Structures are given as structure tokens and as C-alpha cells.
Amino acid sequence: MFSTGSLRNMGRLIAEVSRTRLSKTMETAALSGEELDLKAAFGSFSMDVLASCAFGIDVKACGAAPGTETEYERQAKRFLRMSATDKAKFFLGQVPGFPWLLNLFGVSVVFKTRMTLFFHRASSLENQP
């Protein structure tokens, strides 16, 4: 549920990740004179924010050594990988009338097994150092 209080708390989490990790990553790159891959930096920042807000876990993706991935990032990429069939089902599910037709034939556009596995793995990462 998105209440006013939970949204305020999310704002605090976003600001904390931004202040402690993203700015440190950018400052380190600026002081060293090295190029900073902004796509990777903001991707890691987004991953940290989403993990904090959605699962209450600190995955420390932002600020990790360049070219490294956290276990959470690996699991998220695995979850988001879609086969051609999955993509077709997903896009057909967006066309008016097709969700009803897909349900009629027992075809789900929600990848329940993959989602359950991802959420289980994500929540188990909370207990890891």
C-alpha cells in the first residue's frame, strides 16, 4: 500500500542512497579523472533504491567496483530475461481483448514461477553480509 507515510519513507531512502553512494561514486571518478559510465552508475543507484524501497534490503550495488555485479543484480537480470514466447505473451496481454482470450486458453502473461523465485531469492539476500 502506498500511503503518505510510506512515500515519505521512500523519499528518505532515495536521499540516503543518493547521498551515501551515488555522490561518492561520482566524486571518486571526478577526483581520479577517470570516465564514469553514467548508465552503469544510475543503474546501480536504481537497483539500490528499488531493493531498499521494495524489499527493505541494502544490496550495495551503487559504489561497487566497476564491472562487478552484486548477487541481487544477477538475480534481477535473470528475472528480466524473457524468451521470444514470453515477450509475445506479454505484448499480446497489453492489447485490448487479448488478456481475456489468453485467460480463456489458460495462458498467463504473469510469470508467476519466475516472480516467486526472484522474490524468494531477493528476500534471502537480506541475511547475507
Q: Per residue in 85-125, pLDDT tens?
A: 877 877 777 788 777 887 788 877 666 666 666 667 666 66
- How many residues belong to the chain? 129
Residue spans of alpha helices (H) in the chain: 4-17, 23-32, 38-50, 71-80, 84-92, 98-104, 112-125
- Burial (0-12, 13-18, 19+ Cβ within 10 Å), 14: middle
pLDDT number for residue 119: 67
pLDDT number for residue 82: 75
Q: Per residue in 5-45, pLDDT tens?
A: 777 778 888 888 888 888 888 888 889 988 888 888 888 88
Q: 33 vs 60, which has greater pLDDT?
A: 33
Question: Contact 109/93 with Cβ under 8 angstroms?
Answer: yes
Question: Contact 62/31 with Cβ under 8 angstroms?
Answer: no
